[in-house]
Each structure stands twice: as C-alpha cells, then as structure tokens.
Amino acid sequence: MSTLQLPGALHAREFYIDGAWVTPLSSATLDVVDPSTEAVIAQVAMGSEQDAVRAIEAAKKAFASWSQSSPEARLDVLQRILDVYQRRADDIATTLSAEMGAPLEMALNNQTGSGAAHLETMIETLSDYRFSHLQGTTHVVREAIGVVGMITPWNWPLNQIICKVAPALAAGCTMVLKPSEVAPLNALLFAEVMDEAGVPAGVFNLVNGDGPTVGECLASHPGVDMISITGSTRAGVLVAKAAADTVKRVHQELGGKSANIILDDADLASAVHQGVLECFDNSGQSCNAPTRMLVPMAHLQDAIGYARAAAESLSVGPAQSPGVNLGPVVNRSQFQRIQDLIAKGIDEGAQLVCGGLGRPDGLEQGYFIRPTVFACDSNDMTIVREEIFGPVLTLQGYDSEEQAIELCNDTPYGLAAYVQCGDLERGRKIARRLRVGNVYLNYPEWDTRAPFGGFKQSGNGREYGEYGLDDFLEIKGVVGYGAD
C-alpha cells in the first residue's frame, strides 16, 4: 500500500492545533511501517517541546469558553463527531490495519467500532449526568478540571483515544493528544473527524512525537492540569514523576498480566477454547488479555490438549488477507521482545505445548508470531510474571480454589481477571477476593459502561461511561449557597 493510497497519510507532516492544520516547528520525521510487509507506508512529523507548548497554549485559551458551555452544546458536538466518525469508518479501518496489523474485518468491527461505541455511551451518559446538587446549604459542583494532556498507545488506538477524548469533551475540558508514534495515522484521521464535526478551535489539539519530548512536556508543563496515559507501567511511572512538580492529576491505565481461573464446574473444553481466543485476540496485544490460564490440576492434561487445538486452529497472516485471525505484532522491537521471552520460557523449563520460536511456516517477512502455549509448574517463571504482549499463553494447574485465588493475586499487576464457572454465585464470591479493577465472569460481552482501570501497578483512575467522565471533573463546594 503506497502512502498516497492510505487515507491517514494526508496530514502526516502536520499537526492539528487551534482548529487548523499547521506546519511543525520541528523538522524531524519518523517512518510508519506496515508490520505485515515491513514496508514504509508514510512518514510522520515528530514534534518538539515548542510544538507541544503551542498546542497547550491553544488549549488553555479555548478552556475559558468551552468550560462554560452547556451540557446541551457539548452533546451536540459529540453527536456531530459520532456522525462524521461513522462516515469515515472504512478509511479509519484501512489505515489502522496497515499501520498496526489488525486484520481488516477486526480493524473495522472492533478497533474502529470500539471508538464509535465510546462516543455513543458518552452521549447517553452526558444526557442525564448531574453536574451539581445541593447538600444542605452547600452547592456541590463538578467542573472541568482544565487542560488535559493525553498519551495513548498503539494496540487499541482509537478505543483509547476516544475513551479519553469523549469524556473530556463532555466535562468541558480542552486537550492535547499525543498518540503513539508507532501507529499515528489513525489519530490524524480522527483529527480530521474533529475538524469536520466543527469542534471549536483549541478544544482538541494533536501533536505527534515521542515520549521523552512531547510526552515529557505534557506531563511536566504547568499549563496542563491533568495527564492521562495508557501505556506500559514503565511509561506510567515516568509520566507520574514528570508530573509531580506541578501537582497535576495523573490518570494511568497501564500494564496487566491477567489470570483466567477455570473452575472445576465449568465446561472445560469450551472454557479453554474461548480463553485461548480471548488471549490471542489482537495478536495478544491487549493489556487486559487473559494470558495466565489456571485450571484444576486433575484436568491439566485435558486442558493442554484443548489449548493446543484452539491455538493451532488460528490462521496467522497479513492483515489485509481474507480469513486471517491473527495479524502481525506491531513492529520489529515487539517481535524480538516476544521471541526473547519465548526463548526464556524454554530455557527456564516450561513445557512448550505448541508454537515457539520463529515465524509461522510460509511467512518469511512481517512481524508474525507463532501462536504459543506453555504449561508452567511455577508462578516464578519469567513468562508467568512479565507482560509479553503477544500471542503467548501460560497454563498452570492448581490444587484448590484457594490456591487459584492466590495464584491470580500473585502479580504486581491488577488490571483484570477472568473466572469461568457453572455456579455463578461461586464465581461472584471469588470475584470479591481478586485484587483487580475488572473481573469478567463467563466471558461476558464488552460493556462500555463498566468502569475500566486497575489496582496496583496497573494504574489508577477509571475510564468508560460515567466513571470516565467523573475523572475529568474537579469538585467545588459553594458553602452557604442555599441559605435564606
């Protein structure tokens, strides 16, 4: 696919600041690579600190009026954004598939579709959200926190962009977005959507760049009132440190290493099969993927067979090819990191059930990983402890329900956990004991109203629906407001 054919490349050498496409102050560029082919498909401008400051100043100027706009006016803007976004869905999906490797159907229905779902949910949420109430004689008001810096990842780009942008808009905040430089073109398309929808100048701004330059500026600048990051735990720590001197709100959605407890009353074959598919979705590049499968020790060998069959049923190939379940991982560095971790698993004595090192047969180019399953006898193995971010599943046996809960909680992360059960009340009781932000019982449908976020080193704050909106608001008490 050439640069000229790719919809997201139109403004690749520009930034969106103060309601206009502008020429960067920096001359630096970065290649955007199609992970299916390893071909360069575009070059994007890479911003400097001065570019970021220009965007922050535009957002700060726009805040005075946007923060005072009515919820009805903000609803109208959100609806216009949704309308344009839905019209541009095919362009967005084509661009996403090319730059981050999602199979084309998945890029449209899931990657692009998730953004539309967040917009729809925020429109519903804002329609009946209470921004104030009287508590005795005190008027308690929720007001926009201010200018928000947003740092978003490459694995679910528009899901994470829109689950920040939509509630920030609904709250009355203005913002500067720094999307991932690994997959930046979809964000440029989203800026085109915002422009066409008539979002007021300065309310939404976009500057491409890397973390140490643009990201650092957003985190440390005194003109930014809140920084919201989705990324690795390492990146989240760096952002929090940079933000500390200005005492801004730090909102983090970070790494995960989520366990999937399959109880002895669940349908083992079905639970294992679905668990493998859930783990390998998006080529395993999801922070809340169920990457650690825990099964009763008595059924471990059966589970190994079911997991092997599920993994080997998946079709791996170029993202634009029909019938592909798993595309490539996003880039060379991710490919090599996953290869190194697979090698580490083998070296540490884990049983390689299927997959392993190297590309799948017939794929000599592109960042393709063999769907890999390990059986592990220790919770201390590197592949059990570290977030791999690829299609790699570990299987462990447990002797009791109590041990399963201990294994699930024995991790520095706390983003999600999964429980498969026949007796739903049993699953509910276990859910209360798991130190995670989300528990998914029996592989439920995705819920854009459920609070999303983590415990421990998976971050703080919540996204989605009213919980996401809450986090972009500050609370003010007007004491004596109701006195006669």
pTM over 0.85? The answer is yes
The catalytic position among 163, 287, 376, 408 is 287
Return the CATH number at 322: 3.40.309.10
Q: Say if residue 409 is in the same domain as residue 283.
A: yes
Q: 144 pairs with which residues across the strands?
A: 473
In a domain? residue 112: yes
241 shares its domain with 326: no
The CATH number linked to 243 is 3.40.605.10
> Are 93 and 139 part of one and the same domain?
yes
Let me know if residue 12 belongs to a domain.
yes
Instruction: Let me know whether 94 and 187 are in one domain.
Output: yes
pLDDT digits (tens, 9 = 90+) for 39-70: 999 999 999 999 999 999 999 999 999 999 99
Residues 37 and 158 in one domain: yes
Q: In the chain, how many domains are there?
A: 2
| pLDDT given at position 484 | 75
49 belongs to the catalytic site: no
As a whole number, mean pLDDT of residues 292-317 equals 98
Place of tokens 């995670």: 436
209 plus 349 within the same structural domain: no
Q: Does 279 share its domain with 297? A: yes
Share of the chain above pLDDT 70, in %: 99
Domain of 404, in residue numbers: 259-448
- Do 352 and 265 lie in a common domain? yes
pLDDT digits (tens, 9 = 90+) for 211-266: 999 999 999 999 999 999 999 999 999 999 999 999 999 999 999 999 999 999 99
Q: Considering 57, 181, 192, 253, which one is annotated as catalytic? A: 253
Across the range 326-333, mean pLDDT stands at 98
In the structure, what pLDDT confidence band is assigned to residue 5 with cuts at 50, 70 and 90?
confident
pLDDT digits (tens, 9 = 90+) for 380-403: 999 999 999 999 999 999 999 999
318 and 250 in one domain?
no
Residue 367, in any domain of the structure: yes
The pLDDT of residue 3 is 47
pLDDT for 438 beyond 70: yes
Q: Express each pLDDT in 141-151 by its tens digit.
A: 999 999 999 99
484 domain-assigned: no
pLDDT reported for residue 2: 45
Is 453 contained in some domain? no
Q: Tell me: do 26 and 81 sit in the same domain.
A: yes
User: What CA–CA distance (Å, rounded) separates 452 from 148?
Assistant: 19
* Domain-located, residue 125: yes
Distance CA 120, CA 241 (A): 34
In this predicted structure, the answer to whether residue 267 has a pLDDT above a threshold of 70 is yes
Q: Kindly state whether residue 483 falls inside one of the protein's structural domains.
A: no
* 243 & 350 share domain: no
pLDDT of residue 331: 98
Residues 240 and 304 in one domain: no
- Active site (annotated) includes residue 474: no
What is the rounded average pLDDT for all residues in the chain?
97
Residue 194 lies in a domain: yes
